[in-house]
Structure 1
Amino acid sequence: MQLNGLILSLPKEIKLLIGAFIIVLSIGFYTGLLFVGETSSANPNGIEEQYLGNEDDEDAQVMRFKKSDKEMLTLVHNHILSMSIIFFLVGLLVSITRLGRKLKLFLIVEPFVSVILTFGGLYLLWAGMLWMKYVVMFSGILMTLTFTFSVLIILKQLLQKTSS
């Protein structure tokens, strides 16, 4: 079965379903990023403070405490499971777009690496490996860029006329 470019020949109803799904999924994804920006200042030190607390910082405007074992395990568990499902579904859709093989493989595989680095990195940061805040920041940015690029490719190809 030829998958490359299959999205171009799907019936309008299926294209509409995929488009609606991708738009709603993107709203949820980017809302999560807004939450990250609000809670961690979207910088390495803000990430560290969010998970390790800031009780020692007398100048802190908002007091934060180190996350508990249960909070961290819940956060890592929930995010790895939900993000793996999100990227599995997006990867399936990317697999039926018309793209070069290497780019397609990168867009399909990279988000899973970033999910492990981001949320595994948060756990390791919380456990005391402070340099992981930079890995978390980089992998989170890469995951977001990959998601955005994948979504744009999917939407663009959904809007194209049926390929002959």
Structure 2
Amino acid sequence: MKYNGLLGTFPSEIKLFIGAFVVILSIGFYTGLMFVNETTGAKPAGITENYLGNEEDEDAEVMKFKKSKREMLTTVHTHILSMSFIFFLLGGLVWLTKLPKKLKLFLTIEPFLSVLLTFGGIYMLWSGMLWMKYIIMISGALMTLTFTLSALVILWQLIKKQATT
């Protein structure tokens, strides 16, 4: 079955439907990143403080408390499930683009590893493995990079005119 470049051959109404999905999905994804920045300051210390609290910091502007086990399990569970669906759907579209197979493989498999490292890392950080804050930052950045590249490739190939043969 030939699927490389199939996305560009779809009728315009299906391209519009897929494009609308990718744009709205991206708005949701980047809104989530804004929330992460708001709660952690996108810094290792902010990540630690967000999950382990800052009760001992007398100079803290906002008092934060250690998350309960229930809160942590809910956060990890919902994010792993929802991000799996996001990257499954986005990855399915990536496989229909015209790109080298190895790049497609990276863009579609890496996010699952990053989801596991990011949200598993958050749980391990909460459990006391403080060095995980660095893994969380690296995997979160890589997840964002692969999401961005995938969305841009899909949108570009949806609007690009197909060469006639």
1:76 is matched with which residue? 76
2:16 is matched with which residue? 16
Aligned length: 164
Unpaired stretches in structure 1, ≥5 consecutive residues: none
2:33 is matched with which residue? 33
Task: Write the mapping of 1:40-51 to structure 2, written as runs, cut at 5 A.
Answer: 40-51=40-51
Q: CA deviation at 1:63?
A: 0.5
Q: CA deviation at 1:43?
A: 0.7
8 Å contact kept, 1:121–1:132? yes
Provide the rounded CA distance (Å) in 2 between the counterparts of 1:140 and 1:85.
17
Provide the rounded CA distance (Å) in 1 between the counterparts of 2:45 and 2:12.
47
- Is residue 62 of structure 2 the alignment partner of residue 54 of structure 1? no
Q: CA deviation at 1:163?
A: 4.1
1:109 is matched with which residue? 109
8 Å contact kept, 1:80–1:119? yes
AA at the equivalent of 2:63: M
Provide the rounded CA distance (Å) in 1 between the counterparts of 2:73 and 2:30.
23
- Is residue 142 of structure 2 the alignment partner of residue 142 of structure 1? yes
RMSD: 0.7
8 Å contact kept, 1:107–1:146? yes
Provide the rounded CA distance (Å) in 1 between the counterparts of 2:75 and 2:89.
21
Q: CA deviation at 1:133?
A: 0.2
AA at the equivalent of 1:11: P
1:2 is matched with which residue? 2
Runs of 4+ in 1 over 6 A off after TM superposition: none
Provide the rounded CA distance (Å) in 1 between the counterparts of 2:123 and 2:9.
43
SS at match of 2:63: coil
Q: Deviation string for 1:72-92 (max 9, x for gaps)? A: 000000000000000000000
AA at the equivalent of 1:73: L
Q: CA deviation at 1:58?
A: 1.1
Q: Give the structure-2-normalised TM-score.
A: 0.98
8 Å contact kept, 1:8–1:163? no
